[in-house]
Structure 1
Amino acid sequence: MTGHMTGQRDAPARYDIAVIGAGSAGLTVAAAGAAFGHNVVLVERGAMGGDCLNSGCVPSKALIAAAREAYTGAALPFGITARTEVDFAAVHAHVHDVIAGIAPHDSVERFEGLGVTVLKGEAHFTGPDSLAVTTATGTRTLRARRYVVATGSRPIVPPIDGLADCAPLTNETLFDLTRRPERLAIIGGGPIGCEMAQAMARLGASVTVIEGAAILPREDPEAAAVVRAAMQRDGVRLLEGRTVTRCTRESTQKTLHLSDGSSVDADAILVAVGRRPTTDLGLAEAGVAMDGPAIRVDRSLRTTNRRIYAIGDVTGGLQFTHVAGHQASLAVRAIVFRLPVSYDPAVMPRATYTSPEVAQVGATEAEAKAADPKATAWTAPLEGNDRARAERETEGFVKLVLSGKGKLLGATIVAPHAGDLIATYQLAMAAKVKPSALASFTPAYPTYAEAGKRAATLYFGAKLARPWVRRILTLLKRL
């Protein structure tokens, strides 16, 4: 956040709502609170828009889009053989142009125009009902009827011997590169690691991913296997089941020494092993309890101090922008309208934007069967989908997971636009839609959405194959 901040000298000491953090969650609360007549102060020590706009979702998806356009391997089956040249400086400019296009929506000027007092500075609780904010002009104490902590998270840099001397990149610095590293080593095979590995490989880098377990460890293993094969086809070298024990550097070359005795040479290292909630706010002085590194909240998103809510990454759990936005809307309902709210992480979707994408809502097949031995999974492979065949994107599937009583417990999708397709099943779970409705709805033809309908009809097809059902159908045929 840069520039002159109005309202810092003459801001009132008391507010209806004090929001700490100007990422997607904090901005949602601040805008809604002000729109409904509340006196709102918003405190941010970094850039408006938070991680998502500046170093997370927006730049990563812009980079992935550029990588998709640069990728020519998939064009060969269509008879297209044109060669693509990558101007990485222009790719960098594209990424930052996308950020710049969105930034005004999250700017200080816009929020001050909405009636929010915006303070650039460090926030620190000095008691259960007092917040000290240190700005360029000094420190002041604020009080509010309700506080909302939305300070997000930071990338974890593991304590690997010599890693600091190798100047590792994180998502906060990766998008500043104006030159493509010819050899990129990525520590961590989770969503960020896999997304950036595939994108950078498609942009011409030689990429190696080192993952201590298997890539995408939270996902359905069958889904992860499809992504694994796609990444390897794109030239990504995957070293799974290995860890980095130390890092050495000689001039510009960096060497990662692995647990199996092998080593990987690289020009740049990206660390993508997870994120830690940002909680350096004097929470103990405010009487706010922690769950490990995260703030403890109940289902209404209240902390152990009833005046203070916490939303987004700072609460741990699902660290996604859409989850933070949903929690923000719940906090607004609770604070502004005094309505009871209940956050349910079980119906929150997640997506990894590799190619193909992988998306999940609810339980995976393994999770469901561990809780309910009678649970079943019904899979429609994309090779039976006409749209997938037309686009030569047949390596994927839609899998629906049902309880023994036929309740939808989860959905797994590996396909182009899986992050969009999963919305149908998130809505179905949230609204408690029956599988019969999923089997009877009519998607447009030809679309990938037909695969989900096919998975639901497989479930009912199996029920129709039961002997007693067959006997009834035989009797009906005679009428």
Structure 2
Amino acid sequence: MSGAGRLDLLVIGGGVGGLVTASVAGQLGLRVALVERGDNLGGDCLHFGCVPSKTLIRSAAVAHAARSGAAFGIPSSLGSVDLGAVSDRIQEVIATIQKHDDPERFRGYGIDVRFGEARFVDPHTVEVAGERLSARRFVIATGSRPAVPPIAGLDQLPFWTNETVFNQRELPGRLGVIGGGPIGLELAQAFQRLGSQVTVLEAAPRILAREDAELTDLLEARLRLEGLEVRTGARISEARSAGEALALDVADGDNVETRSFDALLVATGRHANVEALNLEAAGVRTAKGLIAVDRRMRTSQRHIFACGDCTGPYPFTHAAEYQAGVVIANVVFRLPKRANYRVIPWVTYTAPELAHVGLTEATAAEQGIGVKVLRFRFSDVDRALTDGETDGMMKLIVRRGRILGASILGPHAGELIHEVVLAMQAGVKLSALSGAVHAYPTLAQVHRRTANTLYAESLYSARTKTLVRWLQRLIP
């Protein structure tokens, strides 16, 4: 392109990070092109991640509730589940949301939407489907894909990943899940509730290694009660076909056991989509498989920005959206906004849900920060009792009256965490959280009840009792 025809901004990737950036820039009158390597917009979250997984989890929760009616005084029974019908519902939900990501909507903003693989030719030019496009600035938002572990023979087997699991139509009798992270556990519990016998194989000493260990132990116990087999410290040395089954050799210490499954789901992390971009030609530096960016989301080339899973450090849709806002501030408004990840929440959507923001008890200790750890169990929250969902607790990490972090294992933890997020973002003192009136009976009362544990010891101390007795004598 000539200088006169050069774009103001070229966005590579049609997931949430790319769509947010392109739509804002286009609506503000910049000359923008959006390039997506796939067949449609919406990215991994819409087609293979958040949307289909939560839809599947909801169907699984309905199946679990149908089987569990007796605990609530309701006769219940459930026959076999038609996974094909569940998959059809997943695709219907995706199609409904896909309308918001219709390419014509973005073309209506003046954005040149193109489909094809984008490849840098030089720092200011990319090639797409044989045509070269030049731009003053670029945003790379190419997302990530499932990472497959180097297990001997695994590449010869028809295993599932999050990109294929939601199209399955036959419920496996025995499902092996390789990986005890958020994706693995969410889908493992969902398939167990739908009727499969599920085994989770995690190489690390515990599931959800980045989460609070006290809460992950409680979650693991709940999963086992539902019938899941959870094996930690499990090293898989080989995978192979065994007739119609899929066999894994699983080492536990010096012992090797062969386990057979009807289907395998691999959920062992993510790998950034950067290889096809030819970043060397653009002079963009990578580190540990990710695009290296500064706090303004700039790469080693100051006119090239990046956001989302291809940069890290948090592979979440809401993190990509937040990073896109930082990019917009810098690219569109020329404001030197910097990313701040101090208050980034995340949720594992098991039942009960596990939500987190800020420091954990362990990370505070690692950083040498002296904190108080406050706990309150859902079994002491009246609404949790009425709902029959009493597993879990809330933990607050507090220093000098301020909240530094929180972890919640419990019903609707993904919703409850946001009261803490707002408190941390606004610098609200714990006393304000304790003094806020929470409607009764609600699960949200767990915030006030947890905060109050900080004051209970001093409130009912011998010193306070003495003070109260003197006040009663001195003041009529």
For residues 316-359 of structure 1, what are the alpha-carbon distances to aligned partners after superposition, in whole Å with 9 as ceiling and x for unaligned?
Answer: 21100011111112211221112221211221001000000000
Structure 1 residues 244-272: Cα deviation after superposition (integer angstroms, max 9, x where no partner): 11011033211010113012111111100
Quick one: distance in 1 between partners of 2:471 and 2:370? 30
Q: What does the per-residue CA deviation read over 1:61-103, in whole Å, with 9 as the maximum and x for residues that have no partner?
A: 0000000001134432111232123121110101111101111
Residue among 383, 388, 392 paired with 1:396: 392
Aligned to 2:141: 150
- Structure 1 range deviating more: 411-420 or 244-253: 244-253
Determine which of 178, 181, 185 is the counterpart of 2:176: 185
Report the equivalent of 1:61.
Answer: 54
SS state at 1:331 partner: helix
Match of 2:345 among 349, 359, 367: 349
CA distance in 1, matches of 2:178, 2:149: 10
Cα distance in 2 for residues equivalent to 1:362 and 1:309: 26
Q: Which runs of 5+ in 1 are unaligned?
A: 1-8
**In structure 2, distance between residues paired with 1:272 and 1:359:** 20
Q: Which one of the candidate residues 402, 409, 412 is aligned to 1:407?
A: 402
The letter of the residue matching 2:232 is: E
Partner of 1:23: 15
Contact 2:70–2:76 (CA<8 Å) still a contact in 1? no
What's the offset of the Cα at 1:371? 2.2
Greater shift in the superposed pair: 206-215 or 354-363: 206-215
Q: Offset at 1:385?
A: 0.3
Q: What does residue 198 of structure 2 align with?
A: 207
Partner amino acid, structure 1, of 2:454: Y
1:104 matched residue in structure 2:
99
Q: Tell me the CA shift for residue 38 of structure 1.
A: 1.2
Q: Distance in 2 between matches of 1:468 and 1:409?
A: 29
SS at match of 2:282: coil
For 2:339 and 2:423, how far apart are their aligned partners in 1? 17
Shift of 1:473: 5.3
Aligned to 1:437: 432
Corresponding residue number in structure 2 for 1:172: 163
1:293-442 alignment runs, 5 A limit: 293-403=289-399, 405-442=400-437
| Residue number among 8, 32, 35 corresponding to 2:27 in the alignment | 35
> In the TM superposition, what is the alpha-carbon distance from 1:148 to its structure 2 partner?
0.7
The equivalent position to 2:152 in structure 1, one of 133, 148, 161, is 161
Please say if residues 82 and 169 of structure 2, whose CA atoms lie closer than 8 Å, have aligned partners that are also in contact.
no
Distance in 2, Cα, partners of 1:476 & 1:241? 60
Identical positions, percent: 43
Q: Distance in 2 between matches of 1:15 and 1:391?
A: 56
For residues 267-301 of structure 1, the C-alpha deviation after alignment (integer angstroms, 9 at most, x for no partner) is: 11110000011112111221211221111111111
- Residue of structure 2 equivalent to 1:4: none
Displacement of 1:369 in angstroms is: 2.6
Moved more, 283-292 or 381-390: 283-292
Q: TM-score, normalised by structure 1?
A: 0.93
Relative to structure 1, the CA distance from residue 373 to residue 431 in structure 2 (aligned partners, 3 Å threshold; closer, same or farther) is: closer
Deviations 1:353-382 (A, max 9, x none): 000000000011111133245211101101
SS class of match (1:318): coil
- The 2-side partners of 1:19 and 1:353 are apart by 31
Deviations 1:39-62 (A, max 9, x none): 110000113111000000000000
Structure 1 Cα separation of the partners of residues 244 and 43 of structure 2: 32
Conserved 8 A contact 1:13-1:142: no
Whole-Å separation in 2 of the counterparts to 1:288 and 1:460? 53
Q: What letter matches 1:58 in structure 2?
A: V
Q: Which residue of 2 aligns with 1:126?
A: 121
Q: Is the Cα contact below 8 Å between 2:394 and 2:450 reproduced in 1? A: yes
338-347 or 24-33, which moves further after superposition? Answer: 338-347
